[in-house]
Structure 1
Amino acid sequence: MTWIEYTALGVSLLIFLIGLASAVLPIVPGNAVVWMGVVVHKLWMGEASVSWKIVILTGLVTLFSLLVDLLLGYWGARKFGASWKGALGALIGAAVALFIPPPLLWLIIGPIIGAVVGELAAGRNWRAGSKAGFGTILGSVLAFGVKFGLSLFVIGLFLLDLVV
């Protein structure tokens, strides 16, 4: 390998690490950052990189994981009895929490508050709201597992195609 190949691989691996670290956060598209590492390497290295088939396949996996990330928080709230207002409140709470420091703390609390407020707006009681909030946490934990696992899958496909 030449120094330019080592540099391109190093930059891609750094992007992968940033993506994996941000995959921990709900709603933050860490897996899209991981995919950008694949795209950057392909654009930088051209034919010496992975095939376009791998770039497209990893892009589709990334789109799937983004969709799953959005839907699992909603699913968790609904599974524990949230109304559509409670589930929507959880999504809005997660989105608003991105902008409140410290974001990691609020990304956990925001969806819970959103679900509870949504349930109260739907005319339900605190108990229903807290169940919806718990469901949101469960959905977010499952979403993290899926996002992180699919990000590792994308990195694995990239490295496998690069070596072979």
Structure 2
Amino acid sequence: MDILGWSLIVLLFVVGMAGAIYPVLPGVLAIYAAFFVYGWFFSFGDFDWIFWTIQTLIVVVLFVADYAVSAWGVKRFGGTRASVIGSTIGIIAGPFVIPAFGLIIGPFAGAVIGELIAGKNVEQSLKAGWGALVGLFTSVVVKVILQAVMIILFILWLVF
């Protein structure tokens, strides 16, 4: 049972880190679920209220930051609410429409299309598209760092 428990934990960590890059995967929720899997297979007694508070705060920060950082990128480059909505649709639909490059093309195209629909010119729309990419890449970096912190804290909590 120990092997099954640790296999599930590692699998959830891998899915979680992949989810930082590929938005269709559950990301931070998979990592958070791994803590419960550890508790069910081994012991919840290894984690006190401080552990759960820190990890829950990181989850909340990640959810807020994921949207805020992406929107910041679009707004920083002059985009409007239309490009934020378009880039959000693009990041979800892009990987399905264009499997190999949809993760990058989707938010860019979504932001550009959103701005064009809102009546902006092509130059402003392209600028908002670049902002969507900057926001996406910044968001991925933030997610990877914070999710790695969650995993490292988990390991440190068990070791010390």
After superposition, the Cα gap between the structure-2 partners of 1:49 and 1:5, relative to the gap in structure 1 and judged at 3 Å, is: farther
Contact 1:16 1:33 in 2 (8 A): yes
The one-letter amino acid of 1:127's match is: E
> TM-score, structure 1 length as denominator?
0.86
CA distance in 1, matches of 2:25, 2:113: 22
After superposition, the Cα gap between the structure-2 partners of 1:66 and 1:47, relative to the gap in structure 1 and judged at 3 Å, is: closer
The one-letter amino acid of 1:10's match is: S
Aligned to 2:17: 20
1:116 paired to 2:112: yes
Q: Deviation digits for residues 144-164 of structure 1, max 9, x if unmatched?
A: 111000011000111111112
Contact 1:27 1:94 in 2 (8 A): no
> TM-score, structure 2 length as denominator?
0.88
The one-letter amino acid of 1:84's match is: R
The one-letter amino acid of 2:110's match is: G
For residue 157 of structure 1, give the secondary structure of its aligned residue in structure 2.
Answer: helix
Give, in angstroms, the shift of residue 22 of structure 1: 2.3
Q: Provide the alpha-carbon RMSD of the alignment.
A: 2.0
Aligned to 2:31: 34
CA distance in 1, matches of 2:36, 2:47: 9
1:59 paired to 2:48: no
Identify the match of residue 45 of structure 1 among 42, 47, 66.
42
CA distance in 2, matches of 1:32, 1:47: 18
128-137 or 25-34: which moved more? 25-34
After superposition, the Cα gap between the structure-2 partners of 1:79 and 1:22, relative to the gap in structure 1 and judged at 3 Å, is: same
Aligned residues: 160
Aligned to 2:65: 68
Point out where structure 2 has 5 or more consecutive residues left out of the alignment.
none
Percent identity between the aligned chains?
31
Aligned to 2:148: 152
Point out where structure 1 has 5 or more consecutive residues left out of the alignment.
none
Identify the match of residue 81 of structure 1 among 63, 78, 81.
78
